Amino acid sequence: MIFNCSNPLQNPKVEAPSWVPAYCLGLKGMAEAAFGKMGTDSLRITWAVFLLALVSASSCYSADVVFLRSSGSATAELEQLEIATNFYGLDLKVMMVSSSNDDLALDRAVEREDTVGVVIAGEALAHVNRDALLRALHHRRGSSPSLLILGVAPGEDPSLLRTWSGGTSLGCKRLESSLRPQYLFGRVDGLTWQLSDIEIPLPAGTASYLVPGETSAVQRLASIRHNDQVSPIFIEATVQQLKIFVACAVSSDGSVTGGEKLVSKFLRIAPAMMFIRYCAGERGWHALHHYANFTIDDPWLRQRYGYVDYKALFGEMEKHDFHTTIAFIPWNYDRSEPGVVSLFRDHPARFSIAIHGDNHDHKEFTDYRSKPLAAQTAALKQSLARMDRFQTLTGIPYDKVMIFPHSIAPEGTLEALKTYNYLATINSTNVPQDAVPPPASSFGLRPVTLSFADFPSVARYSVEAPIPKYFLAINQFLDNPLLFYAHSDFFEGGIDAFDGVADEVNNLEPDTRWRGLGDIVKHLYLVKRRDDSNYDVLAFSNSICLDNVSGRDSVFYVGKQELGHQTINSVTVDGRNYPYQLQEGYLNLSIPVPMGNTRCVAIQYENDLELASIGTSKDSSYVYFLRMASDFRDNYLSKSSAGLAIIRFYNGHEEGPALVFAWVFVFTVVCIYAAYRLWAFLWRTPHAPNKAGNPSLDGPSVGAGNKPGKTRERIQSRPSETSDSTR
Ligand SMILES: [Zn+2]
């Protein structure tokens, strides 16, 4: 038997959260501990070397999963386990098994207290001594690790699988043909969570299913609905008082329809993810709460802005429990109406403000040939100065979260955001416009990444296209915050337009906290329980608030990736300077947090920002006319079907502002001409009755009559691929 330690997706960036905290014992100490317990025989030396390698690549306080495979095969299963263990911060130990079993080595791997799960590749079943393994699992002190048989493929020996699964399964069959097959999650406590009873459409011909055995006492964790049948693909059975899970092999081309990258990626690894999450429990990376937010791009604070009636929206938020952030264009900083200002100030739990560009003059943060980095950096600084004025004038605080107009900026601009102590950027994609996604196959499972300029970039989802329930459920299962956005015309059919999404999110996860974007970014961290009952923390933001919900006083050992060139000006906890260490690309600090308390960490970088010296005046006539045109578009043009059609054509074709001006001009001329004809008609017929309800006198219609649902039909791409604000 050969031992091999896989190095799960060692992306040095944050997608590989098995970081190395400064509080680990040194390598030397660990090696000594490992060697000290062991004798001198070669197997034990192998173990010691193995442990040393393991320690060098992972956290000290970790749980392990042992994967048994035959030499050179089961690569798909290995990749699934690498992604899942990496996602949850567990270490994966790979053991090659051959016909000449080394039961002693297997016993030792299973008996280690850190081992929380054992996985056998379907093709390796014949090479593992079942009785010896089950005996070792039984003999383990404390709770036994669970066992997963992963990647059972069609054609494998039915009697072997029958024996291993306690008669619950006889093999695996490829689904030959089926109209509209569906992936169907079961409902099992502690395993399916938010995925319970969720159905997801699958492309035909890409799935396999398990052939049920004579013993039917199984829990179906996932099944496939094909034609009129529902067949299991992932089950849990109890064999000799042990939990044994069995999952079918996944076809490599098993992507779901459309561009739902997250969904298809997740379905390929769902059994591994469910199993690893189950085995890890609190010892795996997890969020303390679920978060969600709804953002409306572009409005300023006037009652009403386009179709946004703030007072009515507040009523909907109270009834359906959600929160609205306004992606606020800093240029509008001095235009707010007192009534709306009071509404925002009085209800910070329902309304908040984030930053949306500076002037919002079309692609304001575009490629550097069109607008150099220096000019973009100046705009980022001016937007802070204007928002500071906004706060002074209105008394409404704002979150230093940047939502770029049109599309996310190039990576260098994200670097500037970090330098100027912005908290995060949130856009329809988290990959800068001049970058490509990292190759790690786990990329995209979380909406936040620090892969670009070492700055938190977070993905959000348009609700102007329908968002499938399964997309929400998968994100909640993964502990991802759900960030939605829309524009004013989303409310064309009524101010209740978002209620359905809020209800769906709250039904799927009643513990969802709807918050402002700043609050959500301050909770962009994951925790996992250490062996000493304290917590490791993986932070994604330079400003986090640690909630101790553990029921006991705990120390939080925070690790925050710190790879940028910025100089750290200060690290504070609750406003006071606090000691920290920089080590191997991470900023580390340990913070005692009393039970039930919250302590907030803030990292500030050095920069040349002096808000008082930055001009906030609106001295560009081009920007002035563009903003006036936008107001006209949202407040007047959008109120007619023809106007909405123009807006949606503009949005759909990514045209420049010149075309908008042209359209507005044409529209205005047409309106003036129509008004003139109407006036002339009435002048010539002075005795004609002025009937109530005459459409020609009622002006542009607002509301239900104009609601053809075309916004939803127009956008074909799935939530993860919709574009940002095109206003
Ligand atoms: Zn916008």
Lowest mean pLDDT among 131-140, 499-508, 556-565: 131-140
Pull the structure tokens for residue 62. 């970790």
pLDDT at 250: 73
**Rounded distance from Cα 328 to ligand 1 centre (Å):** 8
Sequence-ordered list of residues with C-beta below 8 angstroms from that of 496, at least 6 positions apart, any chain: 316
Nearest to 223 by CA among 263, 244, 195: 195
Length of the chain measured in residues = 727
Nearest residue to 414 via CA among 364, 466, 477, 457: 457
Highest averaged pLDDT of the listed ranges 23-37, 255-269, 280-294, 678-692: 280-294
Query: In this predicted structure, what is the pLDDT of residue 485?
Result: 98
Amino acid at position 257, single letter? T
Q: What is the pLDDT of residues 524-551, one digit of tens each?
A: 999 999 989 899 999 999 999 999 999 9
pLDDT (mean) for 621-630: 87
Cα 443 to middle of ligand 1, angstroms: 27
Instruction: Give me ligand 1 centre to Cα 303, in Å.
Output: 19
The single-letter DSSP state of residue 286 is B
The answer to whether the CB of 429 falls within 8 A of the CB of 464 is no
Per-residue confidence (pLDDT) for residue 695, from 0 to 100:
28
Residue in the structure block whose two tokens are 């509404």: 343
Distance 726 CA to ligand 1 centre (A): 6
pLDDT at res. 142? 73
Q: How far is the CA of 298 from the centre of ligand 1 (A)?
A: 5
pLDDT tens track for 578-588? 999 999 999 99
Report the sign of the C-alpha dihedral through residues 333, 337, 338, 344, in that order.
negative
Gap between the Cα atoms of 514 and 35, Å rounded: 51
Residue predicted with more confidence, 262 or 19: 262
Q: State the alpha helices, DSSP H only, in 438-574.
A: 469-477, 499-508, 517-521
% residues pLDDT > 90 (the chain)? 57
What value does the mean pLDDT take over residues 167-186? Answer: 85
Q: How far is the CA of 375 from the centre of ligand 1 (A)?
A: 19
Which of 40-49, 158-167, 468-477, 718-727 is predicted least confidently?
A: 40-49
Res 667: pLDDT: 65
Distance 407 CA to ligand 1 centre (A): 9
Q: How far is CA 68 from the centre of its chain?
A: 31
**Cβ atoms within 10 Å of 119's Cβ, excluding its own:** 32
pLDDT band at 73 (very low <50, low <70, confident <90, very high): confident
Using the mean position of ligand 1's atoms as its centre, give its distance from the Cα of residue 625 in Å. Answer: 16
Q: What is the pLDDT of residues 319-335, one digit of tens each?
A: 999 999 999 999 999 99
Name the pLDDT band for 619 (thresholds 50, 70, 90).
Answer: confident
User: Domains of the chain (ranges plus CATH)?
Assistant: 2-24+59-283 (3.40.50.880), 288-511+611-727 (3.20.20.370), 526-564+567-606 (2.60.40)
Q: pLDDT for 458-509, tens place per residue? A: 999 999 999 999 999 999 999 999 999 999 999 999 999 999 999 999 999 9
Contact 196, 153 (CB under 8 A): no
- Taking the centre of ligand 1 as the mean of its atom positions, its distance from the CA of residue 648, in whole angstroms, is 14
Please say if the pLDDT value at position 572 is more than 50.
yes
Question: 486 and 264 in contact (C-beta within 8 Å)?
Answer: no
The token pair that represents 4 in the structure block: 């091999």
pLDDT of residue 252: 52
HEC secondary structure over 544-566: EEEECCCCCCEEEEEEEECCCCC
* pLDDT the model gives residue 653: 58
- The percentage of the chain sitting over the pLDDT mark of 70, rounded to a whole number, equals 79
Joined tokens for residue 91: 């270490």
Could you tell me the distance, in angstroms and rounded to a whole number, from the CA of residue 296 to the centre of ligand 1?
Answer: 9
Q: So what's the pLDDT on residue 661?
A: 61
Q: What is the DSSP letter of 406?
A: S
Going from the Cα of 99 to the center of ligand 1, the distance in angstroms, rounded, reads 63
Residue 692 confidence (pLDDT) above 80: no
pLDDT(237) > 80: yes
The answer, as to whether pTM is greater than 0.95, is no
Reported as a pLDDT band with limits 50, 70 and 90, residue 659 is low
Predicted confidence at residue 41, as pLDDT, reads 36
- pLDDT value of position 102: 65
When mean pLDDT is compared over 119-128, 600-609, 621-630, the highest value belongs to: 600-609
- pLDDT at position 206: 64
Structure tokens at 346: 């009085």
* Rounded-to-integer distance, Cα 107 and Cα 86, Å: 24
Centre of ligand 1 to C-alpha 727, Å, is 4
Lowest-confidence segment of 342-346, 361-365, 383-387, 678-682 by average pLDDT:
678-682
For every residue of 308-331, DSSP letters joined together read B-HHHHHHHHHHHT--EEEEE-GG
Q: Choose among 644, 607, 663: nearest CA to 464.
A: 644
d(CA 347, CA 353): 12
pLDDT of 486: 97
Encoded amino acid at 485, one letter: Y
Q: Separation of 325 CA from ligand 1 center, angstroms?
A: 13
Cα-to-centroid distance, 608 and ligand 1 (Å): 28
Cα 619 to ligand 1 centre (Å): 21
As a whole number of angstroms, the distance between CA 320 and CA 509 comes to 14
130: CA distance to ligand 1 center in Å?
Answer: 61
Residue 289, pLDDT > 50, answer yes
| Amino acid occupying residue 500 | G
Asked if residues 359 and 620 have their Cβ atoms less than 8 Å apart, the reply is yes
Residue 346 CA to ligand 1 centre (angstroms): 26
Here the tokens at position 214 are 């004579």
The pLDDT score that the predictor gives to residue 702 is 23
Question: Would you say residue 29 has pLDDT above 80?
Answer: no
Is-contact 133 102, C-beta < 8 A? no
